[in-house]
């Protein structure tokens, strides 16, 4: 044998393509022969690449059970006369009116046309065709199946489009309700999965101009991630991502547009201020054309929400910075550290969260509480910086800062400043009714006033003041516990003492001294 003579490799078997789900056809007839004949004649029928799967019911009662338990039946071949003379007609009406299924195609087949004249039946019942059993040759039966399945297919496409549109609207609404960029990122990831009904995994990364917590020298940082990427901590650099994801992100950023792969998508958003965000999602299944259309609608609306949200974030950051600057300026009048106002805001937010207040209200508390002492700008500097105890006349003047702060802030119609006005007015009221300026007690004091009172006193105790040295946090907490039901709302004291780790974290981030 020649050494050049080689056996050819056996050709590899072509991969078997996955079979499409068959069309579900229900035969309802009390004659077993009609079932057998129909299935035999239509055994090799295909439509849109899908074969047939037959379900069998020998009475209207059996058919009701099947139809009630399944939502994928495309075509019903329905006998008129079964357990009663009008069993088939009653079942047809039940399918449309009681079951509420407008999509399944119903073809009446009768061996006794005189029992149910065609014209009367077509007029009175929501059916799709009417045939005498004697006229149903193979060719006629094939025509019936083509017409019925084609109509069902088109109806289901419309239904899927309607459902997809509803999911899109719901998803967009969920995104629109986001109150910060992290919530926005998480909501986008969650809603993309719900929109496509896929079990996708992904992450949202940003390079933001206005959201400095997520930007570092223009690098992309992780805003949110699904379970598969949970090892990535928030604000992690994208260099920690797998190379294929990095490539998809880089391509999206370079071309500044959405990209759809066979099993992934990368959505690009850019604000007018130059902030950029990319949402990357990968899926186990291919993204079909219908899904891509939904994604395009969704992403277009998300882009609008993204721009609006960044504007809101920028405005809120400006408002927060202004409030801190004002609060710190007031503190400096008393020769005290400006970090006090930030800690009061954080402690107030901690208590608001513990009370399960809505996220928006917690955010408002964090911004409004630092303005609790803004009325001190109307108090003489000599009193604010006096190292010793105030006499009765001086104390009466000092107490006016609660009213002055309220009057100053209450002139604004802005939500946060309105809340700050309440806090300024009531943060020196006491639970037992012995506070000032109005001697309110218990529930008469606004919850924000009660929260600010606890936050302010606690932090004042652990801070250096011109009239006292700082207390250790443990001693301050002991004082707070002793004033439970006296100075402070007892429920708030309990909530605070149950969250000592969170409280200590605030003091690690914003040291008191």
> Does the pLDDT value for residue 55 go beyond 90?
yes
**Helix residue spans in 45-100 (DSSP H):** 60-69, 87-93
- Tell me what pLDDT residue 9 has: 42
> Does the pLDDT value for residue 215 go beyond 50?
no
pLDDT in tens, 457-472: 999 899 877 667 889 9
What is the pLDDT averaged over residues 355-360?
A: 90
Residue 19: strand, helix, or coil = coil
> Does the pLDDT value for residue 209 go beyond 50?
no
Is the Cβ–Cβ distance between 451 and 492 less than 8 Å? yes
- Tell me what pLDDT residue 115 has: 61
> Does the pLDDT value for residue 223 go beyond 80?
no
Across 259-273, 281-295, 371-385, 437-451, the highest mean pLDDT is recorded for 437-451
Q: Which CATH class is domain 334-509?
A: mainly alpha
Is the Cβ–Cβ distance between 452 and 460 less than 8 Å? no
pLDDT band at 441 (very low <50, low <70, confident <90, very high): very high
pLDDT band at 333 (very low <50, low <70, confident <90, very high): low
Residue 207 DSSP symbol = E
CA dist., res. 173 & res. 184, Å (int): 11
Residue 180: strand, helix, or coil = coil
Q: Which of 486, 485, 487, 432 is nearest to 455 (CA)?
A: 487
Residue 201, beta-bridge partner list: 282
Residue 227 DSSP symbol = G
- Tell me what pLDDT residue 211 has: 35
Residue 113 DSSP symbol = T
- Tell me what pLDDT residue 3 has: 40
Domain boundaries, the chain: 23-156, 177-311, 334-509
pLDDT band at 2 (very low <50, low <70, confident <90, very high): very low
Q: How high does pLDDT run on average in the chain?
A: 79
Is the Cβ–Cβ distance between 175 and 305 less than 8 Å? yes
Is the Cβ–Cβ distance between 326 and 424 less than 8 Å? no
CA dist., res. 460 & res. 1, Å (int): 101
- Rounded to the nearest angstrom, the gap between the alpha carbon of residue 331 and the centroid of all alpha carbons in its chain is 40
Residue 427: strand, helix, or coil = coil
The phi, psi pair for 423, rounded to 5°, reads -65, -45
- 5-19, 43-57, 462-476: the lowest-pLDDT one: 5-19
Residue 407 DSSP symbol = H
pLDDT band at 484 (very low <50, low <70, confident <90, very high): very high
> 105-110 and 259-260: which strand pairing?
unpaired
CA dist., res. 284 & res. 263, Å (int): 7
Q: Which CATH class is domain 23-156?
A: alpha beta
Catalytic positions are 376
Q: Which two tokens stand for residue 254?
A: 């370079």
Question: What's the length of the chain?
Answer: 513
- Tell me what pLDDT residue 257 has: 85
What is the pLDDT averaged over residues 340-365?
A: 91
- 96-110, 154-168, 320-334: the lowest-pLDDT one: 320-334
> Does the pLDDT value for residue 28 go beyond 50?
yes
- Within 8 A by CB and 6+ apart from 342, the residues are 324, 370, 510
> Does the pLDDT value for residue 216 go beyond 50?
no
CA dist., res. 456 & res. 443, Å (int): 19
- Tell me what pLDDT residue 303 has: 64
Residue 347: strand, helix, or coil = helix
pLDDT band at 227 (very low <50, low <70, confident <90, very high): confident
Residue 56 CB neighbour total at 10 angstroms: 18
- Tell me what pLDDT residue 11 has: 42
> Does the pLDDT value for residue 485 go beyond 90?
yes
Residue 203, beta-bridge partner list: 225, 280
More confident position, 414 or 502: 502
- Tell me what pLDDT residue 132 has: 85
Residue 256 DSSP symbol = T
pLDDT band at 5 (very low <50, low <70, confident <90, very high): very low
pLDDT band at 497 (very low <50, low <70, confident <90, very high): very high
Q: Annotate 266-317 with DSSP letters as a single string.
A: EEEEE-TTS-EEEEEEE-SS---HHHHHHHHHHHHHHHHHHHHHHHHHHHHH
- Tell me what pLDDT residue 8 has: 36
- Within 8 A by CB and 6+ apart from 232, the residues are 203, 222, 225, 240, 241
The phi, psi pair for 338, rounded to 5°, reads -70, -20
pLDDT band at 32 (very low <50, low <70, confident <90, very high): very high
- Tell me what pLDDT residue 251 has: 86
pTM equals 0.47
> Does the pLDDT value for residue 4 go beyond 50?
no
Rg of the chain's alpha carbons, rounded to an integer?
A: 36
pLDDT in tens, 304-317: 666 666 666 666 66
pLDDT band at 212 (very low <50, low <70, confident <90, very high): very low
pLDDT band at 477 (very low <50, low <70, confident <90, very high): very high
pLDDT in tens, 254-289: 888 888 888 888 888 776 667 777 878 887 777 777
CA dist., res. 405 & res. 422, Å (int): 9
- Tell me which CATH code domain 177-311 carries: 3.30.450.40
């Amino acid at each position: 044998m020649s050494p050049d003579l080689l056996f050819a490799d056996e050709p590899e078997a072509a991969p078997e393509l996955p079979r499409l789900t068959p069309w579900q056809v229900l035969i309802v007839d009390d004659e077993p022969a009609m079932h057998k004949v129909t299935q035999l004649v239509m055994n090799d029928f295909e439509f849109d690449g899908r074969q047939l799967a037959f379900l069998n019911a020998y009475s209207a009662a059996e058919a009701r059970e099947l139809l009630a338990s399944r939502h994928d039946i495309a075509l019903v071949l329905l006998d008129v006369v079964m357990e009663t003379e009008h069993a088939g007609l009653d079942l047809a009406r039940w399918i449309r009116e009681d079951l509420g299924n407008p999509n399944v195609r119903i073809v009446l087949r009768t061996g006794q046309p005189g029992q149910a004249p065609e014209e009367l039946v077509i007029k009175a019942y929501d059916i799709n065709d009417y045939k005498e059993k004697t006229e149903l040759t193979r060719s006629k039966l094939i025509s019936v199946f083509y017409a019925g399945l084609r109509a069902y297919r088109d109806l289901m496409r419309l239904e899927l489009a309607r459902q997809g549109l509803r999911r899109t609207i719901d998803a967009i609404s969920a995104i629109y309700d986001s109150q910060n960029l992290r919530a926005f990122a998480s909501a986008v990831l969650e809603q993309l999965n719900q929109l496509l009904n896929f079990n996708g995994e992904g992450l949202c990364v940003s390079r933001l101009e206005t959201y400095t917590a997520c930007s570092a020298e223009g690098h992309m940082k992780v805003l949110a991630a699904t379970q598969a990427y949970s090892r990535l901590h928030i604000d992690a650099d994208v260099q920690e991502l797998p190379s294929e994801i990095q490539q998809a992100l880089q391509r999206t950023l370079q071309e500044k547009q959405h990209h759809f792969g066979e099993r992934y998508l990368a959505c690009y958003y850019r604000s007018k201020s130059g902030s950029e965000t990319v949402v990357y999602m990968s899926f186990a299944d291919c993204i079909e054309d219908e899904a891509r259309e939904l994604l395009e609608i969704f992403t277009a609306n998300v882009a609008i929400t993204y721009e609006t949200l960044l504007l809101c974030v920028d405005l809120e950051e400006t408002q927060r910075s202004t409030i801190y600057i004002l609060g710190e300026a007031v503190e400096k009048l008393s020769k005290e550290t400006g970090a006090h106002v930030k800690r009061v805001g954080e402690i107030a937010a901690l208590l608001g969260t513990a009370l399960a207040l809505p996220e928006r209200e917690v955010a408002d508390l964090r911004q409004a509480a630092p303005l609790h002492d803004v009325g001190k700008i109307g108090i003489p500097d000599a009193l604010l910086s006096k190292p010793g105890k105030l006499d009765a006349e001086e104390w009466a003047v000092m107490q006016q800062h609660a009213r002055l702060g309220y009057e100053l802030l209450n002139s604004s119609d802005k939500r946060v400043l309105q809340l700050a006005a309440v806090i300024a007015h009531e943060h020196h009221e006491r639970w037992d009714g012995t506070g000032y300026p109005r001697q309110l007690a218990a529930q008469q004091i606004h919850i924000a006033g009660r929260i600010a009172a606890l936050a302010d006193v606690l932090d004042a105790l652990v801070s250096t003041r011109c009239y006292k040295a700082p207390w250790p946090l443990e001693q301050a907490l002991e004082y707070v516990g002793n004033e439970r039901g006296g100075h402070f709302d007892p429920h708030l004291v309990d909530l605070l003492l149950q969250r000592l780790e969170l409280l200590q974290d605030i003091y690690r981030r914003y040291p008191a001294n």
